[in-house]
Structure 1
Amino acid sequence: MASQPRTGTVKAKVVLLGEGAVGKTSIVLRYVENRFNDRHDSTLQASFLQRTLNIGPKRIQLAIWDTAGQERFHALGPIYYRDAQGAIVVYDITDVDSFTKAKNWIKELRRIVGEDIAVCIVGNKIDLEKNRTVLTTEAESYAASVGATHFSTSAKQNKGIQELFLDLSKRIIDSGLSAQQPKNDKLFAAQTTGRRSIIVEDDFSQPAETLVSTDGGSKCC
């Protein structure tokens, strides 16, 4: 069967929000680079990665911002999620306080961005199910009440990650939010330090992906 012609690339800015140590960086690194690091390294301010998905006849380029969760960086939050088309708010299923604070992130996100943003709430670390303190039913109910979808993930075991980003991408496309192009990505990219920008081309009609680094090298994964 002949593939459908592409209709051009749309761009969407996606931000990851949540407290420190809930696994935001692990989620995005698993998604973009398919790797996991057991050592916890705190994100300083924000890091920036990209991934392009071909979904049917449409192509969407995700500019993914992994923000710091430490209290001292909270004031910087609005700088990064202003103009975003998608947000992923992460909590740790073994830490009920991280879920409570995730609700605060949602409130602030809605206050700054409003309703014109696709939101996913993510319960991470389901590999530690025996230590769970946040009920899935409670989290799903809350997500529905704020117009978000809920996903359970494990960056360590690579569970739920692909489904999370694919769902968010489809919702951004279907809602037309991607037509609102991010305004300040180049400025933000210039401000980030210590992390490179990764671009992955992900075509669901083809079995392989290509990982392209900023140094011009590439590899098939």
Structure 2
Amino acid sequence: MIREEEVTPKFTFKFLLVGDSNVGKTSLVHRFCRDDFDECMTSTISVEFMTSILKIDQTPIKLQIWDTAGQEEYKSLGKAYYRNAVGVLLCFSLTSQDSFSHIEEWYQDVRKLCNPNARIVLVGTKCDLVKEKKVADSEAKQFAQVHDIEYMETSSKTNTNVQDLFYTMTQDVLKLVLHGEIDCREPMQASVLNNKQTQPKRRFC
């Protein structure tokens, strides 16, 4: 990880996390950007984002990682933030069959609202909770195969596959940008979001 003041990024990639509430999207972002984990992580209200800089093949890239609310009442609001996303993490909890059953709906939203060439990865969170697992590997892998996307299991608590997930997605998006398959325009500026970025959150333990 590189500090933002140390380098001028060549590209800015907007990554979006979508999925039901309480599947661990916020924990995933915090683990990657800050390398921390909180058992009582708050549930996002509306939309917020964090930033990080990676260097891929000597190319510095700034990531804007957008964490969207999964609650039904905020779903329509979040759709405006799909614009200019070049990477999407389609998240469900391995401990919740309901969250997995809603993945098809989230996937269709992504396909309707995002760049058609945006990189999509199906992410099964909380893989450390083996005894509480409700979603079979075969189910998740079949969904990924049918929709021609990658699948990865992660744990923010144990930091399993979190770094690999973001590095791999960044590498893949960079290839698409360099090949002209994605127009990497500047994502929405933070100044536009001042009223939404710091919305209060709901806390769960």
| Matched residue, 1:95 | 96
Equivalent residue, structure 1, for 2:151: 150
AA in 2 matched with 1:66: D
Q: Tell me how far 1:7 sits from its aligned partner.
A: 11
Separation (CA, whole Å) in 2 of partners of 1:178 and 1:63: 16
Aligned to 2:203: none
- Report the equivalent of 2:84: 83
Q: What TM-score results when the alignment is normalised by the length of structure 2? A: 0.86
Q: Which amino acid aligns with 2:196?
A: T
Q: CA deviation at 1:34?
A: 0.6
Query: How much has 1:179 moved relative to structure 2?
Result: 4.0
Deviation string for 1:81-133 (max 9, x for gaps)? 11111111110001111011122101111011252200111000011111211
Report Cα offsets for 1:112-159 as digits up to 9, x if no partner.
125220011100001111121111222122113223211100111111
Would the aligned equivalents of 2:87 and 2:118 in 1 still touch at CA under 8 Å?
yes
* Correspondence for 1:192: 196
Alignment counterpart, residue 184 of structure 2, candidates 172, 177, 180 = 180
1:64 paired with 2:68, answer no
Any conservation in 1 of the 2:26–2:41 contact (CA below 8 Å)? no
CA distance in 2, matches of 1:186, 1:42: 20
CA distances 1:14-39 after superposition (whole Å, capped 9, x unpaired): 11101000000000000000111111
Aligned to 1:213: none
Structure 1 unmatched ranges of 5 or more: 1-5, 196-221
- 1:191 partner amino acid: N
Alpha-carbon separation, structure 2, partners of 1:147 and 1:185: 31
Deviates more, 1:165-174 or 1:131-140: 131-140
Identity among equivalent positions (%) equals 30
Q: Is the 8 A contact 2:31 2:37 kept in 1?
A: yes
**1:162-211 residue CA offsets vs partner (Å, 9 max, x unmatched):** 0100111011101116642134234544333438xxxxxxxxxxxxxxxx
Aligned amino acid, residue 184 of structure 1: M
Instruction: Check whether the contact 1:48–1:189 (CA below 8 A) recurs between aligned residues.
Output: no
Q: TM-score, normalised by structure 1?
A: 0.80
Dislocated runs of 4+, deviation >3 Å = 186-189
Return 5+ residue gaps in structure 2 as ranges. 1-6, 200-205
Q: In structure 2, give the amino acid aligned to 1:172.
A: V
Query: Within the alignment, does 1:9 sit opposite 2:10 as a pair?
Result: yes
Q: What's 1:30 paired with? A: 31
C-alpha distance in 1 between matches for 2:36 and 2:143: 30
Partner of 1:127, secondary structure, is coil
